[in-house]
Structure 1
């Protein structure tokens, strides 16, 4: 199993998980045209995809989902709350399958394990993926860590983990007070120290990859995120990957 990012941040997010014949796109916050170009950078194409999974309805995660799915006859998997919120006002929808955010299901050779997260959306989830040998965990767009999140990410072989902001940078930023409260609140986004604290609650001995994701361009710095995560793991900072807005990150293989 391998995974890569098309881009990660407030201007668009998408992650591809490749398990051979099964290739899943998690979110698509880019237009179909841009997503296709970014897939090409990874030597992939929309017609290679098996399905699209959606975490929640915010535009930086769902903007291009329905157009890409319609164009390439892909099924979209999402919770009922996300479906209601994301599909509002759209006259033509692709095939959609409503999922239970607490129940695992199979797509091809992958077991998909959704789990609910505290975020200011209708029914948001994040995902873990298991191919029978390895587990990839993805956690972005959550304002706090719950015991269920810890359980779902307990012993991953790879983890894509939100490090949205640094608390001090957010406090000093130009954001209005209401936005600061939203971003830094229980239903907002993880800051560096929260992400690092999660690593102290899960089993990390199997970790082959750890990538910091969804970094705010104004309220965080890659070196702050990698420093926090590396300190929690007791590893070198250059071992921690960083997903950026323009390039995401390239393929990472789980062995």
Structure 2
């Protein structure tokens, strides 16, 4: 399995996963034209996709989903709450994720995870294939015990570190938006992300990608400063950006799984 990003931030998000049986786009917060250009940068096109999975209905995640699905005849997976919160028009093929039940796309197992975010029925996801476990965890205001339990023992993790609390407090957002972003149903701060990493088992973690970094309420320097005490033993730490996301990361089964299957 391998993973890349088309872009990560408040102006658009999309993550690309590829496994031997297909490729999957998680969210599409860009126009079709922009999505196709960003896919081309990664050596892919819309016709290569197997499906689109949607985390929630906020525009930076769902903006281009329906148009891209119609352009390339792609099935779309999302929770009923996400679907009913937006008028997406006619989709080529809709699959509703009921009660956060796991499902499979060929050899890829998809585990939806309920998260605290100010959307109707938001989900984040864990993907497993060939002994590799990849976690995507952005757009949540609190790390619940359920979230913490689900994201143990990943081989790769894309994790939100959205804002620095001091920058958010003194930044340009109106008070209501500051309250929303920094609240329990908003986004994780650098410190919350660091606390989460300190509590989960990162023994198998080959890659940690820090994502959804606010361009107005955070900086790479502040994110690194907050996270460095808990990332020293992780093989590779990558900071995703809005314009370029991050390039392909190839994952291999960790030693724990290799020993278990021997």
Which residue does the alignment assign to 1:75? 75
CA distance in 2: counterparts of 1:75 and 1:101, whole angstroms: 19
Paired position in structure 1 for 2:135: 137
- Quick one: structure 1 residues 40 and 101, their matched pair in 2 at CA, closer, same or farther if it must change by over 3 Å? farther
Q: How many equivalent residue pairs?
A: 252
Is the contact made by 1:17 and 1:24 (CA closer than 8 Å) also made in structure 2?
yes
Could you report, residue by residue, the CA deviation over 1:147-186 in whole angstroms, capped at 9, with x for unpaired residues? 1111110110000000100011101112111110000000
Cα offset for 1:144? 0.4
Q: Could you tell me how far 1:37 is from its partner in structure 2? A: 0.5
RMSD: 1.3
Give the alignment of 1:76-225 within 5 angstroms.
76-86=76-86, 88=87, 90-225=88-223
Deviant stretches of 4+, over 2 Å: 90-94, 226-230, 233-236
Are the aligned partners of 1:226 and 1:240 in contact in 2 as well (CA < 8 Å)? no
CA contact (8 A) 1:77 1:99 kept: yes
2:242 is matched with 245
**Partners of 1:196 and 1:229 within 8 A in 2:** yes
For residue 94 of structure 1, report the CA deviation from its aligned partner. 2.7
**Residue 2 of structure 1 aligns with which residue?**
2
Corresponding residue SS for 1:142: coil
In structure 2, the gaps of 5 or more residues are 253-262
| Contact 2:6-2:13 at 8 Å conserved across structures | yes
Q: Does structure 2 conserve the Cα–Cα contact (< 8 Å) formed by 1:143 and 1:183?
A: yes
CA contact under 8 A between 1:229 and 1:240: conserved in structure 2? Answer: no
Which residue pairs with 2:61 in the alignment?
61
Counterparts of 1:125 and 1:135 in 2: how far apart (Å)? Answer: 17
For the residues of structure 2 that align with 1:33 and 1:140, how far apart are their CA atoms? 25
**Aligned with 2:66: secondary structure?**
helix
How far off its partner does 1:17 sit? Answer: 0.6
CA offsets, 1:63-83, max 9 Å, x none? 000100011111000000000
TM-score (norm 1): 0.96
Tell me how far apart the structure 1 counterparts of residues 223 and 232 of structure 2 sit (CA, whole Å). 14
> Contact 2:16 / 2:23 at 8 angstroms: preserved in 1?
yes
Q: Is the 8 A contact 1:158 1:254 kept in 2?
A: yes
Distance (Å, rounded) in 1 between the aligned partners of 2:99 and 2:222 = 32
> Hey, what's the Cα distance between the residues in 1 that align with 2:89 and 2:12?
23
The residue number in structure 1 matching 2:260 is: none
- For residue 251 of structure 2, what is the aligned residue in structure 1? 254
Cα distance in structure 2, aligned partners of 1:137 and 1:96 = 23
User: Counterpart of 2:255?
Assistant: none
Q: Partners of 1:167 and 1:97 in 2: how far apart?
A: 38
How many angstroms does 1:240 deviate by?
1.7
